[in-house]
Structure 1
């Protein structure tokens, strides 16, 4: 297997936890599974392919996020102006609902994969204030990870 790009990270806790990454060269929604017994995230993910329309919405959504984050990092906006609250760009919330419905349409294709994360080397800032990008290498789950149906 080879490392593939994580295009966008929506939730982050000691690493990307939800977002969109390639798997076998195609965009997939990913969600890192939390182990309540160990009280930590595992290297096990539920991944769902997304269609071209959902991918397009996600790219628009991410562009709004990047513009907002650049404004916060430049000191022109505060974190309280987060797009999710409708203060920055109302289209952000509309796109989020469309993306969620697109993911739900393909939920029956969700599978579990192990994912090895690493930071991807990039030259300079990706956009003002943003330096890190991640990539992930997918592999089959282990036998004791449970069946794929549990990922749905």
Structure 2
């Protein structure tokens, strides 16, 4: 049996706000690092789960949350109508172009390992508040 989000938090797991890309685990998104929203970007598809993490400023976080809301609304439709295809939702396309450069690790980004765990009490995979899993970071 899994653990609740509260049990995981007591073990040092933190909130995942947004998942942009998933390939054999989370690749790119925003999660808390020491309680502060940070971008995370996985380095490769190895089993190491090594990520670059760097802080997200308030303006960027607000734009990312708007992008996330549009993404989630698109999940209610079909793949053919999802805004990620491009040319379907002008604001989504605008936000994507604006945010893509910010999603690249800056020089000096911290390298850490991520450990991911689903919380049994978070029943909706993707929702406005985030995801149904949490992450615990350790020095890489």
- TM bracket (short chain): 0.7 to 0.9
Residues 1:27 and 2:37 aligned together: yes
Q: After superposition, what is the alpha-carbon deviation per residue over 1:113-152, rounded to whole angstroms, capped at 9, x for unaligned?
A: 0111111233543679xxx6121001111xxxxxxxxxxx
Partner of 2:134: helix, strand, or coil? strand
Q: Which has the higher contact order (CA 8 A, sep 6+)?
A: 2
Structure 1 unmatched runs, 5+: 73-77, 142-152
Task: Figure out how many residues of one structure are paired with residues of the other and give that number.
Answer: 127
Which residue does the alignment assign to 1:14? Answer: 24
8 Å Cα contact 2:49/2:113 also seen in 1: yes
> Partners of 1:125 and 1:43 in 2: how far apart?
24
Task: Say what the alpha-carbon RMSD is for the aligned residues.
Answer: 2.3
Partner-residue secondary structure (3-state), 2:49 = strand
Greater than 4 Å deviation, 4+ residue runs: none
Residues 90, 112 of structure 1: CA spacing in aligned structure 2 closer, same or farther, 3 A cutoff?
same
> SS at 1:9's partner residue?
strand
Listed one character per residue, the Cα deviations across residues 7-45 of structure 1 (whole Å, up to 9, x for unaligned) are 11111122211111110111111111216xxxx352211
User: Offset of 1:4 from its aligned partner?
Assistant: 0.5
Contact 2:43 2:50 in 1 (8 A): yes
Q: Extract unaligned runs of 5+ from structure 2.
A: 1-10
Note closer, same or farther for the CA distance 1:32–1:127 as it changes in structure 2 (3 Å cut). Answer: closer
| Offset at residue 103 of structure 1 (A) | 4.2
2:122, 2:133 within 8 Å by CA — same for their partners in 1?
no
Which of 1 and 2 has greater Rg? 1
TM-score normalised to the size of structure 1?
Answer: 0.72
Summarize the alignment of residues 105-144 of structure 1 with structure 2, pairs less than 5 Å apart. 107-125=106-124, 133-141=132-140
Query: Structure 1 109/57 Cα, relative in aligned 2: closer, same or farther at 3 Å?
Result: farther
Q: What TM-score, normalized to structure 2? A: 0.78
CA distance in 2, matches of 1:107, 1:16: 19
